[in-house]
Chain A
């Protein structure tokens, strides 16, 4: 790759196929194990898990207390644990204080409750800017916070993972835990949106 010739960059799809083939033919990778990993994160580990945690916290005051005191243990009560969830801290968003999560160094994210991070979370623009001008970034994402709301940006730089307990929207007093879970979005649990009543 000299400076005088244009670099012939291989398509990344092809590189991926090549690596899988190289490792598979030497017995270092079993494609069916890969399929299982992929399927797990496509179907059973995702924000629907976090939504169950939050809905339970909204309807069960004792659970809510346990969740805020020891997030990892309270989340494990519902069966959610695993990679990228060794120590999960849950913080509550209120009209006075709004927490928003980022990982400026890579893409640390609480996999057991939210699954793999969405594209906006991994976007260099989000990683670069939310620690410098969170109010502007949140507004670009559609969340205008009142000036009196204090913003706390949580940059996940160690193995600690953060989960936001969003505010329960007004008008949802009669909803069941299951119906509430259906309202709770990934974005609200990262702190770039609020939960809306339908």
Chain B
């Protein structure tokens, strides 16, 4: 997976933003439009899904991901999904934007839509799994050291590290395949608790960290 969005533990980001109490929901009007366009595009218009949207975000170039700010990132990801479902031709948004500012440009013809051949089995992400959970609360597990080519929700900084099952959460479809329309592969989901020194080394100040990990991300510690 492209690591652009997988920011946990990344260094060099400097100080965090100090919260302000009266921050508006949308700082500028275009942000609200981009928000609504992205929400409508991901499912209804492109025939894709939330996991595919997250995967689209991960495939953006650095300027698209970081420089156009948060809702700019959403807009670029929406565009990517719409082009991939052939709702829009590549370059269509660019051409229209140039026209809007008075340039004389040819717009590409509208393509024949080609949405993914997929339909969710139910609304949302929660699913029923017949098999009992493989791991029990209190059990030691290791996050596998996986390096998937496509989408995943296994953060890089947890891979290869050991933790303890703190809670068993409702089963859910697996984003790794759902994002690529390769099936829901519903799984048990666990809140796994890690010690900071396991993650960051013996010199780390002590704290605990939890993350929700899908069953196939985990292996027993023997």
Report A's interface with B, CB cutoff 8 A.
Answer: 7, 9-10, 12-23, 26, 28-29, 33-35, 37-38, 41-42, 46, 86-87, 89, 104-107, 115-116, 118-120, 122-135, 137, 140-142, 150-160, 185, 187, 192-193
Contact = CB atoms under 8 A, between A and B. Distances in A.
A22 B93 contact: yes
B169 A120 contact: no
A38 B26 contact: yes
Contacts of A185: 21
Contacts of B34: 12, 16
Contact of B189 (A9, A154, A158): A158
A16 B79 CA distance: 10
B98 A158 contact: no
A38 B19 contact: no
A104 B6 contact: yes
Interface string B71-87: 11001001100100001
Contacts of B27: 119
Contact of A23 (B32, B37, B211): B37
B180 interface: no
Interface of B: 5-11, 13-19, 21, 23, 25-28, 30, 32-37, 39-41, 45, 54, 57, 63, 66-72, 75, 78-79, 82, 87-88, 92-94, 96-101, 110, 124-126, 153-155, 157, 167, 169-170, 172, 189, 191, 193, 199-200, 204-214
B7 A22 contact: no
A22 B45 CA distance: 12
Given A128-B11, A152-B209, A158-B212, A106 B37 contact: no
Contact of A12 (B66, B75, B98): B75
A177 B204 CA distance: 41
A42 B36 contact: no
A187 B63 CA distance: 29
